[in-house]
Amino acid sequence: MSNVNAVLGYSLVGVNNAQNQTPVNISIQGVTLGCTAFYYDQYFQVGTSVTTAQLPATTVWVAYARNLGSNVVTLTYTLSVGGTGTVPLSPVTNGFGGVWAIFETTESGAGITAVTLQATGSTTPVELAFGY
């Protein structure tokens, strides 16, 4: 039995403003992964040199980052099945910064084994969450 449940709920809506139409409206609610533990840092400080996020386990299957600052933050991750990826998280504009997320529904999927972040300009806060 898991100690914590990670529950995903999101909506993705595509709006055509010129024609006042919504051609895409996807809503996913209640996707759940039973976790042993969950880590959350509301204001993780990302420096201008590479900053390593401390994962709560060797592999996590829920990973989330959101830029809360005015600088671009480059996030690099390593997959448990091999390979890496790099994502630039845009600075806050219109009240929201860039978001990156991975949510596997089982612990047999491609998990995350490492996350590093680097800010441009100056130290930048990023919201982080990891579950395993």
Pairing state between β 99-103 and 51-52:
unpaired
Spatial separation of the C-alpha atoms in residues 85 and 76, rounded to whole Å: 6
Q: In 3-state terms, what secondary structure has residue 93?
A: strand
Question: How high does pLDDT run on average in the chain?
Answer: 91
Average pLDDT, stretch 34-45? 92
* pLDDT beyond 70 at 13: yes
Non-local CB neighbours of 92 within 8 Å, separated by 6+ positions: 67, 68, 69, 70
- Buried b / exposed e over 46-63, threshold 16 CB at 10 Å, is beeeebebebeeebbbbb
* pLDDT beyond 70 at 45: yes
Please, what are the domains in the chain?
A: 38-131 (2.60.120)
48-96 per-position pLDDT tens digit:
999 999 999 999 999 999 999 999 999 999 999 999 999 999 999 878 8
* pLDDT of 29: 87
Comparison of pLDDT for 45 and 96, the residue scoring more? 45
